[in-house]
Amino acid sequence: MIRALAAACLALAAHGAAAQVALRDDRGVDVVLAAPAARIVALAPHLVEIAFAAGAGAKLIGVSAYSDFPPEAARLPVVSDATHVDFEALALLKPDLVLAWRSGSRARDVAQLEARGFRVFSTDAGTLEDVPRVVRAVGQLAGTAPSAEREAQAIEARLDAIRRRHASRPVVRVFYEIWHEPLMTVNGRHLVSAMLALCGGRNVFADAGPLTPVVSREQVLAADPDAILLSATPEQAKETAAWWRQFKTLRAVQRAQLHPMDPALVNRMGPRALDGAEAICGALDRVRKGGAQ
């Protein structure tokens, strides 16, 4: 009987060890869960999309503002936006895992969440290869690794196909506008720059210090890009393109190379970033052919 009891205890201990999940996030912090997460909050729209891609959408109980894809995400409680986390609303949901965006979520908000006892897994995607990596990580944390692996492999296969199609194409110098007032762009560490490189483009502000620097009109005129890509809604892009057309010395204006980009596809660091990459590649191919927008 003693031997049987000992064996049962060992089996229970082994089961508990197997259920535990431990993973290091992009801050270098080891996040340990007693069991795969069953209640997940995501603090950025792209993390919501990644959770669904990883097969963990049903475990999401709270999201950030503008989490509109897939459609069912829009029905979940909103507990954060770009400037703050609603700690009280989040606490009421009792999540066992919070997904944070390392370069987007405020460090002090993450620190406060951890001080309150929440497990926070913080990630970034500076390259397109990071997207399937984060999908796999969320799948591991949520206990949906097989689904996450299938999605990650599909993303990698599509990424490889895009890379092969656009290898060795002539370089196009690009100004990518993410905001008009103040005028903002991205530097070389941003995922958008990785998309540009994939398509044979070169970010004219790649060497800027901040991830999303504010630049002047004069700096853009001095850089004189071959194309200007406008991250905005169709109506906003139409107005912004009209504003740029007054600067007739710009090469991009002279050649009618002002192209709107859907920010939900290009700016979000999730699986649909590949749709954004395809859109950028298409725009740059039109630049090479000399076709207008």
- Residues 10, 2: contact at Cβ < 8 Å? no
Chosen CATH of 19-157 out of 3.60.140.10, 3.40.1440.10, 1.10.1530.10, 3.40.50.1980: 3.40.50.1980
Q: Rounded distance, CA 134 to CA 150, Å?
A: 13
Q: Residue 208 contacts by C-beta under 8 Å, 6 or more apart in sequence?
A: 185, 187, 188, 215
Topology given in CATH for the domain delimited by 168-289? Rossmann fold (3.40.50)
Q: Rounded distance, CA 10 to CA 4, Å?
A: 10
Q: Rounded distance, CA 200 to CA 187, Å?
A: 16
Query: Which residue, chain included where needed, has tokens 């109980």?
Result: 61
Every domain of the chain with CATH number 3.40.50.1980 lies at 19-157, 168-289
Amino acid code (one letter) for 83: T
- Residues 123, 26: contact at Cβ < 8 Å? yes
pLDDT at 8: 43
Query: Which backbone phi and psi does 212 adopt, to 5 degrees?
Result: -130, 80
pLDDT surpasses 60 at 172: yes
Q: Furthest-apart CA pair in the chain: how many Å?
A: 90
- Residue 24, classed as helix, strand or coil, is strand
List pLDDT tens digits, range 191-240. 899 999 999 999 999 999 999 999 999 999 999 999 999 999 888 999 99
pLDDT surpasses 80 at 80: yes
Percent of the chain whose pLDDT exceeds 70: 93
Q: Cβ of 9: how many Cβ atoms within 10 Å?
A: 10
